[in-house]
Amino acid sequence: MQNAAIAALGLNWCYLAFEVRPEELRAALAGARAMQFVGLNLTVPHKSLAMDMVDALDESARTWRAVNTLRVEGRDRNRAWLPIHQFTHEPPDKVRLQGFNTDADAIVRSLREDAGLELRGKRVLLLGAGGAGGVAALKVASEDVAELFLVNRTPSKAASIAAEIRRRHPNVRIQLGYPRGEVDLAMNATSLGLAPNDPLPLDEQQFSLRQARTVYDMIYRPAETPLLRAAKAAGCRTANGLGMLLYQGAKALEIWTGRPAPVEVMRQALKKNIYG
């Protein structure tokens, strides 16, 4: 999706994938800085490791405590930090890496645009408290939901996220475990559903999909997970995580270029790559 967008914007850039071992991340980032890459994306487990390895953190990275996007910046004569690709004539006197997080906003944008859901005042059940689930829980809470229910295989992880939410958003009612009655949204942030024979990510003895108006699965491959299939059969509105992937990438591209991302070009490229 990034290369399709880069072509659509007429930029002479190229987006490449590198496999980096966590113990080599610091060296890889130093290399990207030295080679003056325009920017980088990071995926697990590098998102949290990079927090201590960058020169500056945007507020988004500080808020969500994870870096998924890096911009290489140069310092100009006036001591202002600018994207490195803007230095076409005179080289910068210093180069730095600034870390951003585009994942959290992408969750809310995908819920709004792909599932037609505004979170304010809503009751939400979130399944999973790993990297993606933790960011989703904090972001959903920051959108002034009325009530948030957290369920995770390892309850202590959900408990520590709940404690953080109570500190940051005292107005949100947060509970561990399944809700009674209806919820506006049930969201899967576990990895259950990636493999074809995975069980559903929820305990059907404790929660029926008929209690959920909308079901969102962060998984996008397969396009229809067993959870989404069951949710459709129960009459729920559904969406998968493709939009999350798309919008975090679109925002990253905007951070690098300073220009609006060609979102539809990116969506089509992503669909073609993932679903054929």
Overall residue count recorded for the chain in this entry: 276
Distances (CA, A) of 23 to 20, 63, 97, 177, 240: 8, 25, 19, 36, 33
Which residues sit opposite 95 in a β-bridge?
74
Distances (CA, A) of 110 to 124, 241, 242: 15, 8, 8
Distance CA 103, CA 209 (A): 26
- Closest separation between CB of residue 161 and ligand NAP, Å? 10
Binding to ligand NAP by CB under 6 A, coded x per residue (else -) over 23-62, reads ---------------------x------------------
Distance CA 83, CA 160 (A): 37
Distance CA 150, CA 196 (A): 25
The residue (of 157 and 229) whose beta carbon lies closer to ligand NAP is 157
Among 62, 94, 153, 173, binds ligand NAP (CB under 6 A): 153
148 binding ligand NAP? (CB under 6 A): no
CB atoms within 10 A of CB 174: 21
Distance CA 138, CA 161 (A): 8
- Closest separation between CB of residue 31 and ligand NAP, Å? 25
112 binding ligand NAP? (CB under 6 A): no
The residue (of 149 and 220) whose beta carbon lies closer to ligand NAP is 220
194 binding ligand NAP? (CB under 6 A): yes
249 binding ligand NAP? (CB under 6 A): no
192 binding ligand NAP? (CB under 6 A): yes
Among 73, 241, 255, 269, binds ligand NAP (CB under 6 A): 241
- The single residue of 47, 122, 139, 251 carrying the catalytic annotation is 47
Q: How many residues bind ligand NAP (CB under 6 A)?
A: 22
The residue (of 72 and 189) whose beta carbon lies closer to ligand NAP is 189
Our answer to whether residue 251 is catalytic in this structure is no
Angle at 139 between CA 135 and CA 145, to 5 degrees: 135
| 250 token code pair | 């679109």
The residue (of 142 and 191) whose beta carbon lies closer to ligand NAP is 191
Site for ligand NAP in 113-132 (CB under 6 A): 128-132
- Closest separation between CB of residue 180 and ligand NAP, Å? 22
**128: Cβ contacts below 8 Å, ≥ 6 apart:** 151, 152, 188, 189, 190, 191, 201, 218
Among 64, 149, 220, 256, binds ligand NAP (CB under 6 A): 220
**Contact in structure between 149 and 125 (CB atoms under 8 Å):** yes
**Contact in structure between 46 and 20 (CB atoms under 8 Å):** yes
Site for ligand NAP in 56-95 (CB under 6 A): none
Residue ranges that bind ligand NAP, judged by CB under 6 A = 44, 128-133, 152-154, 157, 189-192, 194, 218-220, 241, 244-245
Catalytic residues: 47
